[in-house]
Chain A
Amino acid sequence: MPATRLKRHRIVRRGKEAYHPPMPALCRDCLTQFEDGNRCPSCNSPRVRSHPELFDLTIAHMDCDAFYASVEKRDNPELRDKPVIIGGGRRGVVSTACYIARIRGVKSAMPMFKALKLCPDAVIVRGRMSTYVEVSKQVRALMEELTPAIEPLSLDEAFMDLSGTAKLHGAPPAVMLARLTRRMKDEIGITGSIGLSHNKFLAKVASDLDKPRGFSVIGKAETDAFLRDKPVRMIWGIGPAGQASLDKAGIRTFSDLLRWDRRDLHARFGSMGDRLYHLARGEDRRRVSAHSPMKSISNETTFHDDTNDPDILDGHIWRMAEKVSDRAKAKGLAGRVVTLKLKRANHSLLTRRTSLRDATQMADRIYRTARDLFDQTPDSGPYRLLGVGISDLTKDTEADLSGDLLDPEAAKRTDAERAADEIRKKFGADAIIKGRALR
């Protein structure tokens, strides 16, 4: 008798608080829309999401639950009730752990020996990347039925903008998203969690709140209250180094951030400061864009101890150049501009850039150019951070086409690098490295 149940519930709530308007609710199993209640009036499922703004919000983030592990469990039912860890291989770290393993304390990026100590009965599976790519494509196809505005972040997560799709689908975004996860489970055999909000930042935060098989909503009205006591490291893109520099400024939670003036944030953190100012207020104007072309590729590293030792810095320039080069090669891109970024001990930034005559994706050329820039920097440090990047990107079919008259060895080094890349492809990233990288 669903109607009675609903009624009783209302009375209880009214007894506790003053009157509140009926709250839109959705059953995530049968997709029934109703008003108020903890159970679905039609199928009696407890998997109900109710929220005052449920049917008004349009920006979503979908994150698959323990994606690689879920795929493995799907393909091998024997694994279903066992703790499964994807990883091993060369570096011996956990790449993904299923939820059973997570309960025992296993986390991503944890060294394998540590994971096995916590969870000795874990089944370790080597990743099958091609299968994951295949499954990711299937999920993507389902998302494409909802909206063309999809921005994938990786194989297992993506932003979706469902603004203006309600008429087309005959149902508000929340319903379509619940249907998406249901279809993922029924048709593909994996589960995912949804975050629904009014911008990308909050949608991403929301999808993480209620994993696995979650459906979280952060409405406009509650945004400020929601963020207030949350730690700022929740912001995507703030890693340990970012956290450390925020700590130094006494910023731990969003309410700490709110006390800062916009100018001061900018002065201290640069463009990130502007972003922090807006995020603290729950504002994020970035669009969900399927075609946000990559503008630059860069890597940077913060040192354990500030240094001005040219040999150590040279080692860092090489390693960063190599990382940038690896990413550029993986994406088939090359850059015409090489940038060197140095952060002094007092956090002030020093950037130097130069244009090349033709684009490159070779670690050797990126390194040599960055090294030239470093040599021409009058500043003597010490530095706390070093970064190398390429920009003004182009397809790699237009790159490294021509040799250097004044550097006849360059062609040989390019050939050597290509050969080393082949070796690393076969035997792993550490199979062959430059002596320079050990500095």
Chain B
Amino acid sequence: MKISMERGALLKAVAQAQSVVERRNTIPILANVLIEAEGDTVSFRATDLDIEVVDKTNAQVERAGATTVGAVTLHEIVRKLPDGALVQLSDDGASGRLTVEAGRSNFSLATLPKEDFPVMANSEYESNFAAPAPVLRRLFDKSKFAISTEETRYYLNGVYMHVADSDGGQVLRCVATDGHRLARIDADLPEGAAGMPGVIVPRKTVGELRKLLEDDEVEIAVSLSETKIRFATPEITLTSKVIDGTFPDYTRVIPAGNTRKLEVDASEFAQAVDRVATVSSERSRAVKLALDEDRLILSVNAPDSGAAEEELAVAYGDERLEIGFNAKYLLEIASQVDRENAVFMFNSAGDPTLMREGNDQSAIYVVMPMRV
């Protein structure tokens, strides 16, 4: 194999591959990226056995062939090469080394046989549809903060993507929760998605997917089966197993009868929460919200370190209410609001609170209060 590529294009392809590779590997081949050159394209393939990413890119292929080489090392080398450099990758097939040449730099890297590389089996996908990158970006960006890290609840370690009924129609919906907060984000149902199975997309896959969604103009081809999901752009194909578990019935978690409405400027609110939480040294910083006739008093009382209080002018017309939250959770949901005011719907100090942006029902958040 012998190929030449511009440094920038190579870096992009290798970067995607090396981020899939697990840092600590017990199986050496899993630390490698499989490089395959044919015609005028080169593909870079990496896997952790749950996720596989393939990045196809144009290159000058002088001699077709394939080999595998340490993904992290190759990425580091390419990253350190000067911008605009022409990089040549070549192996003679006999020495077991891959030569990387750029200008006066010359590297010789150990390889492993391409036959040992575990290529993810092709599977039948039941459902195929295309969605614009910004739509998927919104669905996952606004939900991923609520993904659980608790290993005993492995079925919460991802975003539940499925088709749901909403206002008589169907929507493509992403839900994530860790039992303390929940995000439910809806998008128009793309053509062809109606019969898709509901799947739990693992956290790591959500992270990798994000890199495919930077370009607003790109259409993402989504393919699903009960066990796998695939996202593809013309260059990059990301295939992932989905979490084998049942996502809990989240609909009963979303409060329908909360009537006490607070409307507040989201960024003012977030900044105030952030400020008062500073005095608390505890890990779960509790912020108390005291609501009264168009007035919100945020306060933190940490016996060991101090106390803080801040008043905000808000729209609130219900009876007096005091309720506590984890400051971090409040900040996270408040930062999801980008256009209009944040609308909070409370019931009592012990019940889940609902938050949405203005009257927009397509993105709602639920957060559990805490004792203060």
A contacts, CB < 8 Å to B: 354-358, 369, 372-373, 376, 394, 398, 401-408, 411
Contacts and interface: CB of A to CB of B under 8 A. Distances in A.
Contact of B253 (A369, A376, A402, A405): A405
A357 B150 contact: yes
10 contacts: A355-B149, A355-B150, A356-B150, A358-B370, A372-B153, A401-B370, A402-B369, A404-B179, A405-B182, A406-B253
Contacts of A358: 284, 370
A402 B371 contact: yes
Contacts of A356: 150
B370 A376 contact: no
A402 B368 contact: yes
Contacts of A406: 156, 177, 179, 248, 250, 253
A354 B152 contact: yes
A144 B370 CA distance: 42
Contacts of B350: 403, 411
Main secondary structure of the interface of A (DSSP, over half): mixed
A394 B284 CA distance: 11
Contacts of B43: none
Which of B178, B179, B326: most chain A Cβ within 10 A? B179
B353 to A, nearest CB: 11
Nearest to A404: B179
A405 B286 contact: no
A358 B179 CA distance: 11
Given A369-B152, A402-B326, A405-B182, 18 more contacts: A355-B149, A357-B150, A358-B284, A358-B370, A376-B152, A398-B282, A398-B283, A401-B286, A401-B324, A401-B370, A402-B180, A402-B284, A405-B253, A405-B352, A406-B179, A406-B253, A407-B179, A411-B350
B245 to A, nearest CB: 12
A174 to B, nearest CB: 42
A405 B150 CA distance: 14
B350 to A, nearest CB: 7
Interface in B272-296: 282-284, 286
Which of B284, B352, B369: most chain A Cβ within 10 A? B284
A401 B366 contact: no
Interface in B297-348: 324, 326
Interface of B: 149-153, 156, 177-182, 248, 250, 253, 282-284, 286, 324, 326, 350, 352, 366, 368-372
B368 A398 contact: no
B152 A373 contact: yes
Contacts of B178: 357
A334 to B, nearest CB: 11
Nearest to B303: A397
Contacts of B284: 358, 398, 401-402
B370 A402 contact: yes
B152 A404 contact: no
A12 B311 CA distance: 90
B150 to A, nearest CB: 7
A405 B366 contact: yes
Contacts of B150: 354-357
A403 B177 CA distance: 13
Nearest to B248: A406
Contacts of B177: 405-406
Contacts of B179: 357, 404-407
B93 to A, nearest CB: 42
Contacts of A403: 350, 368-369
Question: Which 5 A-B pairs rank lowest in CB-CB distance, beginning with the nearest?
Answer: A372-B152, A402-B370, A401-B370, A404-B179, A401-B371
Contacts of A355: 149-150
A402 B286 CA distance: 10
A405 B180 contact: yes
B301 to A, nearest CB: 11
B180 A404 contact: yes
Contacts of B253: 405-406, 408
B311 to A, nearest CB: 24
A356 B284 CA distance: 12
Contacts of B324: 401
B99 to A, nearest CB: 45
A178 B138 CA distance: 77
Contacts of B248: 406
Nearest to B286: A401
Contacts of B152: 354, 369, 372-373, 376
A401 B282 CA distance: 13
A372 B155 CA distance: 13
A402 B368 CA distance: 7
Nearest to A411: B350
Contacts of A405: 177, 179-182, 253, 352, 366, 368
Nearest to A370: B152
B151 to A, nearest CB: 6
A340 to B, nearest CB: 10
B117 to A, nearest CB: 28
Nearest to A397: B303
A407 B253 CA distance: 9
B52 to A, nearest CB: 26
A229 to B, nearest CB: 49
A404 B368 contact: yes
Nearest to B254: A405
Contacts of A398: 282-284
Which of A398, A402, A403, A405: most chain B Cβ within 10 A? A405
Contacts of B149: 355
Contacts of B181: 405
A302 B45 CA distance: 51
Nearest to B372: A401
Nearest to B329: A402
A406 B176 CA distance: 12
B171 to A, nearest CB: 21
A375 to B, nearest CB: 8
Contacts of A357: 150, 178-180
A355 B284 CA distance: 14
